[in-house]
Structure 1
């Protein structure tokens, strides 16, 4: 773990800070990957902290030296949207890093934490619905693309990549 980052489980008290990280991250990093009208419709829905994730015990935040939350992310056994999940499969959820804290390892630490926790609970694989700009990050984390998919977000479809990783691969 980076000596300047502390990973801890998120709580409902983190909702405002997590929402701020999601808004800053997605607003900046999605530009150029998605059409402006798609972002205008999707970002207000995507950048609110999910109360169920904050209460799950498997969603985490990364804090910098000053205690400020600079990244968030975690996992669940249920698929996004509450869809049925295949046995032995977990799902990486809502990972984001504030643009001011990019390239410092926060997202990597959060995903590594998720993978380790899922493995410890006996899961065999993790899946994620990656945004287009995050596909290369997840590939570096050992995930492989399965299919380009459209995820419903409110009244629109959001281009994503369904990815998977075997947890036995360490």
Structure 2
């Protein structure tokens, strides 16, 4: 998701992630889901949906990996649309897994969209880019464990940056 992409719950179909090629899903969506859930658990939230900073990290990581995928492999309009929707679709998956009803999912997506727009406006997550770029290279080289380590560093960096930024502005 580029910073201009909207997390529009009305446009998300439950099968958006299923429409992605399995290899694309396993490179773009799967690793961030795993590391962000791990980061949330280490922060005391047993479920990812309850940790807003980790959910925002999920959005950022999926968005950046989607952009890197498109740059590396090219993509047609349909695949680009799926990649742009991947961060929101990943959030929907997490929220639905938490058994939230459709209205709550929509409200959570709206809150995440507003928060992510503020982070983007203030470049809060930019410091994680080198970790994500390294993770992408490692994924391309077949080093999934190394990629997960880099993505976990990125997620922790994002969560720390969000908390520092919140403390500064509030």
TM-score normalised to structure 2 length: 0.29
Structure having the larger proportion of residues in helix: 2
TM-score normalised to structure 1 length: 0.29
